[in-house]
Structure 1
């Protein structure tokens, strides 16, 4: 019974901890004449990760909001929407480990004068990885309880985190090998440098000795 209570408490803590995998942002985007005012939200996302999100663009006259989603440095184009209005939904799977850019541009129509009120309200929400999983079909077929749904989602989150930890472990081992190799090269370089210095010193002593002997100074 004690173990069951401890497990339930742990799962609740995990749910709270990994709720940060869902990112939400709200802001006002000022309008400007072409090329407009651009604002980007950047998030690092791993390879082959599902990304699901939605954007809500507020009402405003004589303004056009363009949305583009891409990554760097690979420059994969994931989603593009010109003249977005109202609620927009998107979903894609990443191709590389990279920083994904969610960029919003607000352009004011020509002939209109920009001012403090020429802006649009943007609401942006994105889920990645296990948080983006759609379990509705599984819920319908297996008639899962809400607790079971959360357990499935948490299981997927833990699996994803474990995979990320394995990747980090592999990178750490690689960096350690590189570090050890570099240290070994530096050690042998220092030994070689010391050998050159000692050899140069011995040669100078012998040269000076012969020079003084030739001059009959010693």
Structure 2
């Protein structure tokens, strides 16, 4: 009797927390909290690239989703009689090559958009001058300072704010929306991968031809289908809600953000339940293995005792022992 009451109280408390979080008076606190939780620090790497006449490629790989913006900033140090080439590729089955640039010096900024799910690699080669003596080869190298921004980190929100005349709060909301969208995309990717491993869910179509149509006319009949599937917060028409409830632009964005955050919470609850289910299955399997080993041990002991008595009885019948 206490569990339903506790669950109802927990749900009521969660609704109260959501209402207090998404009230207009707590917008700055919400922004600060979510940025603290979801903001990703910019990662950079600095390394030394040795020069060879036939140099191997040194690649830095980063995971990306389709249609994600990738900004590569490479700062190549000075080095005489050396040529550094850069190439951006991905790990998809198509082995897409986004761009290739020869002889980069100083700071070079490149922008690409990923085509497929997988990893994008930034590859460098440091070519040594062919006229340089081979004994001088090991002493030649260049320092490369590499910075890779992906997704929301690669967007210049200051330029967007200047172009669209956005206020500071609206700019922060735009950035926060992109960060939350990246989190949702990542959760969708994990969910799709799990569905691909476990089962297949899909929308199926069948195009039936009229039975009275002659068979020779069959190959020329077809229909074009444009399919768009929206799930969760993406399926809600927030413009209609804003018009119905007379919400401002900021309140509409907060309502949309509330729906997205609720999806994230639901997805985390699902992952938690799945982990608990897998943990229970693991514990049950371990217990069964232990029981099987214990019963096998008892069976072997019983079989050994039976063999001893059986052999003793056999030897007595043959008068081999008293």
**TM-score bracket, shorter-length normalisation:** 0.5 to 0.7
Q: Aligned partners of 2:169, 2:318: CA distance in 1, in Å?
A: 100
Instruction: Give the corresponding residue for 1:90.
Output: 111
Q: Aligned partners of 1:80, 1:178: CA distance in 2, in Å?
A: 48
Structure 1 pair 172/141, CA: closer, same or farther in 2 (3 Å)?
farther
Larger relative contact order (C-alpha < 8 A, sep ≥ 6)? 1
1:4-19, aligned counterparts within 5 Å? Answer: 4=27, 6-14=29-37, 18-19=39-40
Structure 1 gaps of 5+ residues are: none
1:61-115 alpha-carbon deviations (Å, 9 max, x no partner)? 43222223445696844435252424241313263345x4432121102121446
1:29-63 alpha-carbon deviations (Å, 9 max, x no partner)? 33222225x533343x2543614122344554432
Instruction: Give the corresponding residue for 1:29.
Output: 49
Q: Aligned partners of 2:67, 2:299: CA distance in 1, in Å?
A: 54
Does the CA-based 8 Å contact 2:35-2:176 persist in structure 1? no
Corresponding position: 1:52 with 2:70: yes
Q: Aligned partners of 1:74, 1:42: CA distance in 2, in Å?
A: 16
Instruction: Give the corresponding residue for 1:108.
Output: 128
1:137-164 alpha-carbon deviations (Å, 9 max, x no partner)? 9657753224322222122213323554
Structure 1 pair 81/181, CA: closer, same or farther in 2 (3 Å)?
farther
Instruction: Give the corresponding residue for 2:170.
Output: 148
Query: SS where residue 127 of structure 1 aligns?
Result: strand
Query: SS where residue 112 of structure 1 aligns?
Result: coil
Higher Rg of the two aligned structures: 2
Structure 1 pair 46/7, CA: closer, same or farther in 2 (3 Å)?
same
Over the aligned positions, Cα root-mean-square deviation in angstroms equals 4.1
Match of 2:307 among 199, 204, 207: 204
Give TM-score, length-normalised by structure 2.
0.50
Structure 1 pair 102/176, CA: closer, same or farther in 2 (3 Å)?
farther
Give the structure with the higher percent strand: 1
Does the CA-based 8 Å contact 2:92-2:116 persist in structure 1? no
Structure 1 pair 174/122, CA: closer, same or farther in 2 (3 Å)?
farther
Displacement of 1:121 in angstroms is 4.1
Q: Aligned partners of 1:195, 1:159: CA distance in 2, in Å?
A: 58
Displacement of 1:201 in angstroms is 2.1
Give TM-score, length-normalised by structure 1.
0.68
Q: Aligned partners of 1:68, 1:179: CA distance in 2, in Å?
A: 46
Structure 1 pair 201/80, CA: closer, same or farther in 2 (3 Å)?
farther
Q: Aligned partners of 2:118, 2:296: CA distance in 1, in Å?
A: 41
1:123-142, aligned counterparts within 5 Å? Answer: 123-133=145-155, 139=161, 142=164
Instruction: Give the corresponding residue for 1:81.
Output: 100
Structure 1 pair 189/73, CA: closer, same or farther in 2 (3 Å)?
farther
